[in-house]
Amino acid sequence: MSLVVVGSMAFDAIETPFGKSDKIVGGAATYIAWCASNFTPVKQISVVGGDFPQSELDALTARKVDLEGVQIKKDEKSFFWSGRYHMDMNTRDTLVTELNVLGTFEPVVPESYQDCEFLMLGNLAPAVQLSVLDQLKNKPKLTVLDTMNFWMDIALDDLKKVLARTDVLMVNDSEARQLSGDFSLVRAAKTIMAMGPKYLIIKKGEHGALLFHENKVFCAPALPLEEVFDPTGAGDTFAGGFIGHIAKTKDLSFENMKTAIIVGSAMASYCVEKFGTERLREIGNDAIHERLEEFVQLANFDIALV
């Protein structure tokens, strides 16, 4: 039984008010794999060009990320995205998007991935996500979907088909409003959960995240940081921490989903401390537990005295 992750593996070039990166390794599935592999082995589905560094693939393999499902198109180029963040670090302009190998990506689920118990559909074209769902012979115990406004704009019909087969959806607050057509996040959550997902996670960046399920709500804090160095991949890292914890514990209760969101938040708070995946590569169990303890102090209160 295993965790299967689908998403892009790519190059990014990032500009922030505080600095500028070279062309560095990025992509949703890359961040998810670096993060989730702290908790459980990962079976990766993606596509890269001949320009993608072998050292990166080797480093992931060394972390028990199975790359059998990663297609390497030797004569093509990897997906490339370049963007510039504004002062608030919540909004950004896309400077360059070169789809390259991603433009014609047809995922193939290896036979060895058919034991998939937990499926993480990273941010990617809904048609690719649907293809993976169709190729799996058994429905996963939990399917988690990360998506974005871009797909709501250009591929809403496909996205709705994925949503109907999704257990947990992750979007940010403006995307929840766009998808539901409702400004109130509480009403937006009801509308979106009627589209398929039994659980909805609304990510609010520096304001934390909300988890909705039936009539229940959980509000996770974000760690207040003196500096957000590079927000790229924070959402993917959050997804990786969430699904990594769920896959490790195999506990699908609402209470454990709360804990999984805290794990995702803790991992994301590390991610933004340096450019790209750099910080994720440095941290291990001790650092993770230290940050989780900070979250307990951050959110814990005693109401017994009232």
The one segment of 41-49, 180-188, 191-199, 272-280 that binds its own copies by CB under 8 A: 180-188
CA distance 11 to 300: 39
Interaction between residue 262 and its own copies (CB under 8 A): yes
| The two structure tokens encoding residue 25 | 């390794």
Residue 196 zone, left/alpha/beta (φ > 0; ψ -120 to 50; rest) = left
Partners of residue 78 on adjacent β-strands:
none
Q: Shortest Cβ distance from residue 254 to its own copies (Å)?
A: 10
Q: Shortest Cβ distance from residue 305 to its own copies (Å)?
A: 6
CA distance 300 to 302: 7
Single residue of 76, 174, 221, 273 touching its own copies by CB under 8 A: 221
- Shorter beta-carbon distance to its own copies: residue 99 or 223: 223
Q: Shortest Cβ distance from residue 256 to its own copies (Å)?
A: 7
Applying CB under 8 A, what is the total number of residues that bind its own copies? 48
- Shorter beta-carbon distance to its own copies: residue 62 or 296: 296
Partners of residue 25 on adjacent β-strands:
11
CA distance 29 to 51: 17
Q: Shortest Cβ distance from residue 178 to its own copies (Å)?
A: 15
- Shorter beta-carbon distance to its own copies: residue 21 or 38: 38
The b-or-e profile of 25-37 (16+ CB within 10 A means b, else e) is bbbbbbbbbbbbb
Residues 84-113 touching its own copies, rule: CB under 8 A, are 87-88
The one segment of 62-70, 126-134, 192-200, 210-218 that binds its own copies by CB under 8 A: 210-218
- Shorter beta-carbon distance to its own copies: residue 145 or 185: 185
**CA distances from residue 298 to 136, 172, 289, 304 in whole angstroms, order as listed:** 40, 22, 14, 18
- Shorter beta-carbon distance to its own copies: residue 71 or 256: 256
CA distance 103 to 27: 14
- Shorter beta-carbon distance to its own copies: residue 22 or 88: 88
Interaction between residue 222 and its own copies (CB under 8 A): yes
CA distance 213 to 142: 14
DSSP 206: G
The residue ranges that bind its own copies (CB under 8 A) are: 87-88, 183-187, 204, 207-208, 210, 216-227, 245, 249, 251, 255-256, 258-259, 261-263, 288-289, 292-293, 295-303, 305-306
